[in-house]
């Protein structure tokens, strides 16, 4: 049997739904607002989630500062904070002290994060940020495309973890040639990371179909999955959505790798 892979559940889009009605959430804390992301996180934990991930965006389009603080005070597993590498976000993370942070690129016009961070062009800056988090006992992950140049940069930055962007693979899933190319690219990247002692996580576009192949990527430690789980939760509830994803991860780990 292959090594177990952890499941981090990203709950951002539960607050996308909330903000559709309660855009002034920070000023309406005394009234009932739903869905409550803490309740979503607790239900995900009870169903077997190994961690909770949230992305506090600079424009606060979904997750709010208060959500992160409440989650830090409430959840029993691990809190992973996705964030831009900016002074504001670094100071916030150092104050809240999540278990880990994942540094991601951020563009205001994108719906969700559409590619990896260009760590190679920001080595000195990201090395300083990573050192601050390490000194505070916070694990730093870099959200990177599966490219050797970015893996080399992560090593220079002394980042202990890379979360590889799986969006290109997910988008190519129904194109056999492109899918095979992107899958091999991910496999080469996780092998290269392992060779220099960097832990590999993965996320973006992973769903209940492609998970069967994603688990064949070597050296994976954790998958961060949000949109697909929350879409299934609309029909079956968050608990069943998390349990089903965990079942599919386990099933993939007990079958022989695909040729």
DSSP 254: T
Bridge partners, 6 (sequence order):
222
Residue 122: which residues within 8 A CB-CB, separation 6 or more?
A: 85
Q: What pLDDT does 124 receive?
A: 98
Q: How many helices (H) and strands (E) does the chain have?
A: 11, 8
Beta bridge partners of 81: 54, 101
Least confident of 92-101, 161-170, 230-239, 249-258: 249-258
Domains of the chain (ranges, CATH numbers) = 6-253 (3.20.20.70)
Q: Which residues contact 24 (CB under 8 A, 6 or more apart)?
A: none
Span 32-50, mean pLDDT? Answer: 94
Span between the terminal Cα atoms of the chain, in Å: 17
What is the band of 259 on the pLDDT scale with cuts at 50, 70, 90? low
Distance CA 11, CA 53 (A): 7
Q: What is the pLDDT of residues 7-25, one digit of tens each?
A: 999 999 999 999 888 876 5
Q: Which residue has the higher pLDDT, 74 or 109?
A: 74
pLDDT, position 252: 85
| Residue in this structure with the two tokens 């060779």, named with its chain if needed | 195
Question: Strands 161-165, 139-144: parallel, antiparallel or unpaired by DSSP?
Answer: parallel
Q: Is the pLDDT of residue 91 over 50?
A: yes
List of residues 6+ apart from 5 with CB closer than 8 A: 215, 220, 221, 222, 223, 249, 253
Active site residues per annotation: 55, 82, 204
Closest CA relative to residue 104, chosen from 80, 128, 72, 124: 80
């Amino acid at each position: 049997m292959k090594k177990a892979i952890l499941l981090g559940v990203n709950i951002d889009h539960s607050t996308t739904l909330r903000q559709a009605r309660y855009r002034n959430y920070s000023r309406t804390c005394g009234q009932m607002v739903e869905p409550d992301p803490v309740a979503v996180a607790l239900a995900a934990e009870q169903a077997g989630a190994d961690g909770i991930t949230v992305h506090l965006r600079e424009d606060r389009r979904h997750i709010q500062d208060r959500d992160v603080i409440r989650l830090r005070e409430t959840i029993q597993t691990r809190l992973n904070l996705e964030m831009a590498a900016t002074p504001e976000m670094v100071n916030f993370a150092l104050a809240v002290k999540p278990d880990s942070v994942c540094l991601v690129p951020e563009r205001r016009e994108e719906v969700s994060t559409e590619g990896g961070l260009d760590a190679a062009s920001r080595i000195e800056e990201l090395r300083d940020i990573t050192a601050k988090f390490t000194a505070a006992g916070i694990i730093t992950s870099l959200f990177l495309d599966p490219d050797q140049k970015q893996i080399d940069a992560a090593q220079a930055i002394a980042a202990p973890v890379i979360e590889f962007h799986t969006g290109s693979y997910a988008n190519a899933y129904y194109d056999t040639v492109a899918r095979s190319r992107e899958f091999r690219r991910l496999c080469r990247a996780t092998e290269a990371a392992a060779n220099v002692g960097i832990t590999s996580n993965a996320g973006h576009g992973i769903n209940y179909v492609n998970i069967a192949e994603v688990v064949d990527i070597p050296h994976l430690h954790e998958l961060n999955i949000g949109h697909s789980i929350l879409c299934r939760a609309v029909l079956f509830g968050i608990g069943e959505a998390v349990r089903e994803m965990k079942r599919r991860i386990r099933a993939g780990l007990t079958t022989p790798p695909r040729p």
